[in-house]
Amino acid sequence: MRIYIDQASGHVGEEVEIAGWLYNKRSSGKLRFLILRDGTGLMQATVSQADVSEEDWAVADELTQESSLIATGTITEDARAPGGYELHVKSLQLVGRSEDYPITPKEHGTEFLLDRRHLWVRSQKQHAILRVRAEVISAIRDYFDSRGYVLFDAPMFTPNAVEGTTTLFETEYFGARAYLTQSGQLYQEAGCMSLGKVYCFGPTFRAEKSKTRRHLTEFWMVEPEVAFMDLDGVMELAEDFTQEVVARVLDRRGEELKTLERNIAALERVKKPFPRITYDEAARILKEKGTDFTYGSDFGGADETVLAEQFDRPVMIHRWPAGIKAFYMKRDPDDPTRSLGVDMLAPEGYGEIIGGGQREDSLEELEKRIEEHNLPRKFFEWYLDLRRYGTVPHSGFGLGLERTVAWICGIRHIRETIPFPRMMYRLEP
């Protein structure tokens, strides 16, 4: 019977077949210890010359890293073996030979590995990160699906910008101009006026010309949007959601976090309520700490790290100077120089993971903003319709998947959190 390595515990004493690749090999006299991987885990397959045919012994002897094979034998429990089980091999079948596999157990430079990303994803650390990513995605979907949110997919081709015109990817669209979407938000606003609570979750694109460890040109964002929700409501949603996603990974991906040597205690502190401070309070902290931040501007990566260091869990910063935030943000009725936006910064220097807030719901105000931002009015008529026909207060946010995964995994650069990262200098493989 063919089994996967992670099913071994249910087959002790039985003869089974395991199909996979050679991860590593040790030799000792008439024994060959093959470490197999099949995507579900690692297992030692012990080949004793006395137990196998001459042909199979030759296969075991010559087997090279990443050659694919099918091994048949009996499962035994062995506390010393990786995974706790061992296969005593009776026969071996080589499926596909691997010659001179380029990624060896020695250290390699990141560019070397990124050029071979299609092979790099076979390594144990990458398995752990990609499994955490998959868990975070499923936790995100479950969070919204189980709370009555309707998945409302946003288009990828758009005629206009959402998050400023400097990071647009332009493409030709049957003689017209189109852009790859920077955010599904505007479409979610239409969705929440129809279905009440909606979300979209997919790739978004930004022509980021900065080479930083927090920026990709193609990244995934989940964007909930809720009718009749205000800024306080969306901050509550953001913290409850973040707490739940982290708890889910702690609950189900402990092994992977161990592989990544993640400090679990730091993640266990991610419990609501999260601290909430205004932009002015944040600016005061930066001044006290002696950074060279200028009041009124956006926080840079270094500023975000200083701010996050003041707290033991994610922090939410709200009420931003209206001038540095997007056109769609509602102004604070108590101080029209402020917009009702909120950013959430992850702890430990991972930077902004969430951006969101309350949206401008007045037709007249929004018309003014579109003009002030020099946005092409004709592409926003549909968006203005949402204010013409039964406008209501509404709010939402966007969480960047890769930054969140980098933070949860405790890895410095977000390029390892997506199977095939896209950055300014990388379109391949």
Which residues of the chain form contacts with ligand 4AD (CB under 6 A)?
Answer: 162-163, 183, 185, 206, 208, 215-216, 219, 221, 223, 352-356, 396-398, 400, 402-403
| SS3 state at 204 | strand
**DSSP string computed for 98-135:** --S-S--SS---HHHHHHTHHHHTTSHHHHHHHHHHHH
Structural tokens at position 204: 């978004």
In the complex, the smallest distance separating the C-beta of residue 338 from ligand 4AD, rounded to whole angstroms, is: 17
In the complex, the smallest distance separating the C-beta of residue 400 from ligand 4AD, rounded to whole angstroms, is: 2
Of 241 and 397, which CB lies nearer to ligand 4AD in the complex structure?
Answer: 397
Handedness of CA 312, 316, 320, 326 (dihedral sign): positive
Of 60 and 192, which CB lies nearer to ligand 4AD in the complex structure?
Answer: 192
396 near Mg ion, judged by CB under 5 A: no
Of 237 and 353, which CB lies nearer to ligand 4AD in the complex structure?
Answer: 353
Kindly state the helix (H) or strand (E) to which residue 319 belongs, with its residue range.
Answer: strand 315-321
In the complex, the smallest distance separating the C-beta of residue 175 from ligand 4AD, rounded to whole angstroms, is: 29
304-363 positions binding Mg ion, by CB under 5 A: 355
Of 355 and 396, which CB lies nearer to Mg ion in the complex structure?
Answer: 355
Kindly state the helix (H) or strand (E) to which residue 87 belongs, with its residue range.
Answer: strand 85-96
Rounded Cα distance between 83 and 36, Å, is: 11
Of 135 and 225, which CB lies nearer to ligand 4AD in the complex structure?
Answer: 225
In the complex, the smallest distance separating the C-beta of residue 307 from ligand 4AD, rounded to whole angstroms, is: 14
**Residue 397 binds which entry of Mg ion, ligand 4AD, none, CB below 5-8 Å type-dependent:** ligand 4AD
Please identify the residue of the shown chain whose CB is closest to the bound Mg ion.
Answer: 355
Structural tokens at position 208: 């980021």
Of 224 and 355, which CB lies nearer to Mg ion in the complex structure?
Answer: 355
DSSP for residue 160 = S
**Residue 82 binds which entry of ligand 4AD, Mg ion, none, CB below 5-8 Å type-dependent:** none
Query: Who's near 327: CB < 8 A, 6+ residues apart?
Result: 360, 366, 369, 370, 372, 373, 375
Nearest alpha carbon to residue 63 among 76, 45, 81, 77: 45
**Residue 356 binds which entry of ligand 4AD, Mg ion, none, CB below 5-8 Å type-dependent:** ligand 4AD
Contact residues for Mg ion, defined by CB under 5 A: 355
